[in-house]
Structure 1
């Protein structure tokens, strides 16, 4: 049987507890990462192929082991083209260059502003070039999340259709071409799912945050690791999270959705999708927050806030509204009138066929025939044999026993994390001290040079002053000679000599 190594923090078949996920950071800081990993596992697992998670291990020294153990390496990437991910991208480049097996990049994207200037030079351009070039030596073509990423790689010199191909987010093909969105009749009893991003515009956050005042059957679905820790333990570890100072955002236990036990943090993609089957509509600024309901057949409205979301929502034709369409007067029913809740269905068949075309170009075995017929997949058989864990609810909703257990586990996680963080800080302080020492030594050398220059200037100033005094004396002496009686008497003789 063939074995494919897959970049993921955990396999969809892993049932890590919440504290284990936090300890490992198995969601890669965002639980949305589990969604596209689920799709890759489900679509590429066949009777002849087994997929294995790499648990986000990126070590070029593993190359020999990977070559000996696996037949290929599948690397699903989200917004990998961003400054904070470049160090990891460099490691992948070094690792890939040492591999002798095929390497498939499935769904790489970027994190640019909503209206990016593609042709502007970026400090990581060369790093991206090296990564793409390394992958193309191990596969036929890269799969990209959207047209903006495609335009960027074309700007770097790679050819669209030959080196790279837009395939969208692989999470959208979890169940193949089988997407059918239900209709909705909105009322105050409707089940609403809300997702938010701290970076979203304040008007958007105000609107989303206010929905809990109008719809009591509402749940907030957070995705970030900071939010998972808040939900699990009641407070972020190691100080405040990024979103703690954001207004109109559920970032503490005093927020309405936390006080009313309206928060669910999912520990697996299958359980997240299953929950969404019982929701009437999902709305928010998170991509995978609206992919999950889409896969469940639930209507959704997406509010793109950057180029990453823009290219994906446009490619998959998500029902969407712009930031500018939301203000203090906006109501959910107003937005429903502006969108076509079935728009995804109109392009999904074409997008899925394009995805299969991408897999075929790379000669990747897949389960297209199963998906096309809606049959049970080999991976589904494996999934049915495990018991998925329930989502994490706020610690304030737990029994006293569970609360004690969570706090104890949180403390056990926090101490080594704090020590690790302290060691990192010590390392950074040490590195900064080294740089400061170098700067101080350079300053001392510069000061010595400046001091020597000053002495040299003083010496030259004295010499110049002395020369000026000598010149002055000579001028005076010459004037005395020219004014003398003898000089005047001998003038005719000097003129006669000049004529000769």
Structure 2
């Protein structure tokens, strides 16, 4: 039996409780990470291959253990090309260089603005180059999320088609090329699911937030860790998005969707997809908030707000509308008229075949060759034996006993996390202070050097002037002497 190590916060077969998931940060700050992990486990698990999560451990000291235990390492990545992820990317680079087994990167993307300049020099360019180079020493080609990421790696000197290729997000291939979207007809009783990002434009947030007053069967599906903490305990995580003042965003228990128990935070990808099958329409600014309904056959509308989401929605041909086309008092029906909810079906077979082509180029065994109508994947058989957790609902919706239990556990979760966050912030402040002090010292040194140079320049100028005057005197004196004679 071959064993493949997979970068994942948890296996889809794990059934951690909500408090345990918060402690471990099993979702990697965003529950959407569980979605593409599910696809990797389902597509690569065969009767002869077992997948094991690394639980987000990236320690170069583990290299010997990994070499001895596993046959290969699959690293699915989301928007890994961003400043905050670079320290992790560096650790993976150091680890990969020590590995002797194949290493495959699946679905790497970037976090740039909506209209990025990929040719712009960035502080982390060299870190990304070192990571990509290390991976290419252990595999044939990298799989990227979209064309913008591909253009960026090409700018760094890697060749598209040889070193990297666009495959989209692996989550879209969870069930192969089988995507069939239902038609939708809206009415006041329609079940609507909304998803939002705190950094989205205010007019977009207002439009989405106002839907809660128009549809009584509306649900909000948050994704971030701080929102999971809020839903579980009612306590905001200091310094996080839900603790900041963002208009038209449900970031506290007094928000309508929390007060009305219209919030569901999913603890597994399979249960998330299953539930979305009961929804009539999903809409929002989150990628996986729209992937889940698509996989369930539910119509959805994506609102891309950055290059990360833009390149993926374009590649997979999501029903989508740009944020700048949303205006005040817009009706949901008006948005539906602007999109084709079936557009995603038209690209799925081509994209899935391309994904399988990527796996084959790297020699990664997968279930594609066995896939046929009525066939059950080996991972499905394992999943059937697992009792998946129900989605998390707001603490205010719980009975007294569960509420008490959550609050007791929350204290043990939040206090250490807040302390850790405080220590991290202090370290960052110290590092910034140190950098500022160094810059000040460098500036003082430069000023001193400049002052000395200015003084030297003044002295040199004075000397030149003196020499010029002296030269003039020497030329004229003999002439006067000659006349006198």
Whole-Å separation in 2 of the counterparts to 1:194 and 1:177: 25
Establish whether residue 224 from structure 1 lines up as the match of residue 205 from structure 2: no
Whole-Å separation in 2 of the counterparts to 1:324 and 1:495: 90
| Cα distance per residue 1:219-249 (max 9 Å; x no partner) | 0000011111111111212355366311111
1:423 is displaced (CA, Å) by: 3.2
1:495 is displaced (CA, Å) by: 8.1
Going from structure 1 to structure 2, the CA distance change for 1:286 and 1:243 (only over 3 Å counts) comes to farther
Match of 2:467 in 1: none
Match of 2:478 in 1: none
Whole-Å separation in 1 of the counterparts to 2:340 and 2:446: 68
Whole-Å separation in 2 of the counterparts to 1:180 and 1:227: 31
| Cα distance per residue 1:65-117 (max 9 Å; x no partner) | 11111000000000111111111111111111111000000000111111111
Match of 2:192 in 1: 192
Match of 2:259 in 1: 259
Match of 1:479 in 2: none
Given that residues 106 and 170 in structure 1 are in contact (C-alpha distance below 8 angstroms), is that contact kept between their aligned partners in structure 2?
A: yes
Equivalenced residue count is 467
1:431 is displaced (CA, Å) by: 4.5
Given that residues 177 and 371 in structure 1 are in contact (C-alpha distance below 8 angstroms), is that contact kept between their aligned partners in structure 2?
A: no
Establish whether residue 330 from structure 1 lines up as the match of residue 333 from structure 2: no
Point out where structure 2 has 5 or more consecutive residues left out of the alignment: 464-480
Going from structure 1 to structure 2, the CA distance change for 1:200 and 1:48 (only over 3 Å counts) comes to same
Given that residues 236 and 243 in structure 2 are in contact (C-alpha distance below 8 angstroms), is that contact kept between their aligned partners in structure 1?
A: no
Given that residues 227 and 242 in structure 2 are in contact (C-alpha distance below 8 angstroms), is that contact kept between their aligned partners in structure 1?
A: no
Whole-Å separation in 2 of the counterparts to 1:55 and 1:357: 28
Whole-Å separation in 2 of the counterparts to 1:168 and 1:106: 9
Whole-Å separation in 2 of the counterparts to 1:76 and 1:242: 28
Match of 2:59 in 1: 59
Whole-Å separation in 1 of the counterparts to 2:172 and 2:483: 112
1:438 is displaced (CA, Å) by: 6.2
Moved over 4 A (4+): 428-453, 494-497
Whole-Å separation in 2 of the counterparts to 1:444 and 1:367: 64
**TM-score, structure 2 as length reference:** 0.90
Whole-Å separation in 2 of the counterparts to 1:24 and 1:451: 56
Point out where structure 1 has 5 or more consecutive residues left out of the alignment: 465-493
Given that residues 177 and 372 in structure 1 are in contact (C-alpha distance below 8 angstroms), is that contact kept between their aligned partners in structure 2?
A: no
Going from structure 1 to structure 2, the CA distance change for 1:51 and 1:187 (only over 3 Å counts) comes to same
| Cα distance per residue 1:371-409 (max 9 Å; x no partner) | 443521111111111110111101111111111111111
Given that residues 182 and 298 in structure 1 are in contact (C-alpha distance below 8 angstroms), is that contact kept between their aligned partners in structure 2?
A: yes
Match of 1:26 in 2: 26
- RMSD of aligned C-alpha atoms? 2.7
Establish whether residue 213 from structure 1 lines up as the match of residue 216 from structure 2: no
Going from structure 1 to structure 2, the CA distance change for 1:451 and 1:318 (only over 3 Å counts) comes to closer
Going from structure 1 to structure 2, the CA distance change for 1:450 and 1:140 (only over 3 Å counts) comes to closer
Whole-Å separation in 2 of the counterparts to 1:189 and 1:280: 10
Going from structure 1 to structure 2, the CA distance change for 1:94 and 1:425 (only over 3 Å counts) comes to same
Establish whether residue 385 from structure 1 lines up as the match of residue 378 from structure 2: no
Given that residues 277 and 296 in structure 1 are in contact (C-alpha distance below 8 angstroms), is that contact kept between their aligned partners in structure 2?
A: yes
State the SS of the aligned residue for 2:244: helix
State the SS of the aligned residue for 2:160: coil
